[in-house]
A and B are shown apart, each in its own frame.
Chain A
Amino acid sequence: MAHNHNAEPVGAACKPPVTPHTPASTAITSLTALQLAAKLQARELTVAQALDAYYAVIEELEPKYNCYIHLCREHAYARAADIQPRIDAGEIRSALAGVPIAVKDLICTKGIPTTCASRMLADFIPPYDATVIEKINAADMIVLGKTNMDEFAMGSTTETSYFGPTRNPRDPAHVPGGSSGGSAAALAAMEAPIALGTDTGGSIRQPSAYCGVTGLKPTYGAVSRYGAVAYASSLDQIGPMGRDAADCAALFEIIAGQDPRDSTSMAPPAAFDADAALAKGVKGLRIGLPEAYFGEGLQPEAARAVLAAREVFVSLGAEAESFALPMTEYAVPTYYIIACAEACSNLSRYDGIKYGHSAEAANTLRETYILSRGEGFGMEVKRRIMLGNFVLSSGYFDAYYKKALQAKRMIQQAFAGAFEKYDLILGPVTPACAPKAGESLADPLKMYLSDIYTVMVNLAGLPAISLPCGTNARGLPIGLQLIGRPFEEGTLFAAARAYQTGAFA
């Protein structure tokens, strides 16, 4: 087959992670989540054996990659004991029943620490489960542990974590991306079969691209954010990350849906059906490539890989052409103004009183606030709080914040115009492959600029999927981004699946 190199599982073309663990563990951990679920249902494996395999790999590789902040073995084995009899009795509650999952450490898990990778929440143990955790529990999935991230999801490298940086399993000299870097790295290192991340400006898609895995940022409102620690509420979304599109679709089916506890969540026009979506293929789909996404700044290797993917879609029966997408040059300032404004408001809840870090040296209420926050937050979080207060402050509000909200509408309109003509928009996820560790923190503006292709999607509330489409000369993964109409995640999964299997020609 002409595009046979795409028929391998995700990341197959990338450098494999260093995995010297036992063959028995590897046989289990190299399965996709759906393959593992099938083996559990066929009773070729027990849920506890799956956990044994994952914890063995985790124990061996964590000193190298640091994907997790917290493991919850006791919880996981107790859940396995609860779930196994149901599987034995043929009571299968979901397509991923019995499958372990890694959860980004900003999603609240009852009785299991949830730190947001911050000193501020280092000792926080949520008294409740996020809606997505209730849903994965009801689906008989099992939380393996909580994954590392940029502090409060603010960053693009997973280097701002209070618990130390995560390394990219494809090459540990490089960052895994961020902010959901721990989840992406855990998938690439075979330390988890599937994961949850969150995406405010690319935090699922960019680390997926850097680590050679697949990740979906759902439509704004498609997944409940109840129990997800807020960063920028008008942009945040929880989404699935996995080794391929089929796994992500199965997890999305479990977590999607309106929730009365999140009034920004919405009912989709039709309930999402993973199997139906994956079977659709791409024949006849009209795909648009924004010219501005392929201009100056995009690494030639990335451009070549993404344009090669375009040819794969054409060979599968899609139509593809370039078009002018307005507003791209305004995406990054618009995003950072809005995100910082919302962050400074959302993070005002950390007062050193109700929960979180509280400064010992404080002698007055005001000192409790300023010292606890000064000590509890890292520099990137402080910087965004300062920027947010600036754009919201009297005298600057209209010129920055209000202007950004107007630009947000214009960005949404630009996409709406494009989707009159195209079913999907195709482009790169990032201008370049994963940077070396330590290169990004010195220049925050440079780091912000690398979000150019991902932030527009959040501003417009659209769904988008990131999947691997090759590697650079050093063997680092390159990501492909597909953007869809609101609530048309099914089209994204169909196209991603068709690309990954080379089928449905």
Chain B
Amino acid sequence: MTIDRDLVLYLESLGRIRLTEEERAACETDLRSIIGYFDQLGALDTEGVEPLSHAFPVTNVMREDVILRSMDPGDILANAPREKDGYFMVHRVME
């Protein structure tokens, strides 16, 4: 694997994030050292080991199907950068 500017740009695109040119250069250096360090894990034999997500055997947690009051839409929209007529406002999606 090569860690270069193209990889940084690809990761920016996956993460919907834009770095400045300065951040991009720093990120390339950091990725190289940190991923290089992550590679140590390659030495560990994990053959046949089941991956673990939740630390304890908790799966498919259900709750009673009871009706609860939701938050007031006005309270939610109070934090919206742009809103109109009770909706979040976004830029045009289709041309």
Contacts and interface: CB of A to CB of B under 8 A. Distances in A.
Interface of A: 123-125, 127-128, 220-221, 234, 260, 263-264, 266, 329-330, 332-334, 336-337, 344, 348, 351-358, 362-371, 373-374, 377, 379, 382-383, 385-391, 393, 396, 399-400, 402-410, 412, 444-445, 448, 459-461, 486
Given A334-B41, A357-B81, A409-B51, 9 more contacts: A127-B78, A128-B71, A330-B44, A333-B40, A353-B88, A365-B90, A408-B52, A448-B37, A459-B55
A356 B82 CA distance: 11
Contacts of B81: 352-353, 355-358
A364 B92 CA distance: 7
A371 B18 CA distance: 6
Interface in B36-76: 37-38, 40-42, 44, 46, 49-56, 58, 61, 63, 71-72, 75-76
- Majority DSSP secondary structure for residues of B touching A: loop
B55 A385 contact: no
Contacts of A486: 55-56
B80 A354 contact: yes
B91 A368 contact: yes
B1 to A, nearest CB: 7
Contacts of A364: 91-92
Contact of B34 (A330, A336, A355): A336
Contact of A448 (B20, B31, B34): B34
Given A358-B81, A382-B19, A385-B17, A444 B30 contact: yes
B40 to A, nearest CB: 6
Contact of B79 (A355, A382, A389): A355
26 contacts: A127-B78, A221-B58, A263-B61, A264-B61, A332-B37, A353-B80, A358-B82, A363-B91, A364-B91, A365-B92, A369-B16, A370-B12, A373-B17, A382-B27, A386-B12, A386-B27, A389-B15, A390-B7, A405-B52, A406-B46, A406-B50, A407-B46, A444-B30, A444-B34, A448-B34, A486-B56
Given A337-B38, A373-B18, A125 B55 contact: no
Contacts of A363: 91
B48 to A, nearest CB: 9
Contact of B75 (A127, A334, A357): A127
A452 B65 CA distance: 43
B14 A396 contact: no
Contacts of A390: 7, 11, 31, 35
A354 B80 CA distance: 5
Contacts, number: 169
A332 B39 CA distance: 12
Given A409-B50, A461-B55, A385 B34 contact: no
B44 to A, nearest CB: 6
A400 B40 CA distance: 10
Given A234-B53, A389-B11, A373 B16 contact: yes
Top-6 shortest CB links A-B: A461-B55, A405-B51, A358-B81, A355-B79, A409-B52, A374-B18
A370 B20 CA distance: 12
A354 B79 contact: yes
Contacts of A357: 81
B90 A386 contact: no
Contact of A460 (B20, B40, B55): B55
Nearest to A411: B52
A387 B63 CA distance: 35
Contact of B51 (A128, A220, A393, A406): A406
Contacts of A393: 10-11, 14
A370 B55 contact: no
B23 interface: yes
Given A373-B18, A409-B51, A127 B11 contact: no
Contact of B58 (A266, A351, A366, A412): A266
A197 B21 CA distance: 35
Contacts of B50: 406, 409
A254 B75 CA distance: 28
A238 B90 CA distance: 35
B76 A127 contact: yes
Contacts of B56: 220-221, 266, 461, 486
B4 to A, nearest CB: 13
Nearest to A392: B14
B32 to A, nearest CB: 10
A348 B16 contact: yes
B44 A407 contact: yes
A459 B8 CA distance: 28
A409 B34 CA distance: 22
B55 to A, nearest CB: 3
A354 B88 contact: yes
A385 B23 CA distance: 13
Nearest to B60: A263
A412 B38 CA distance: 19
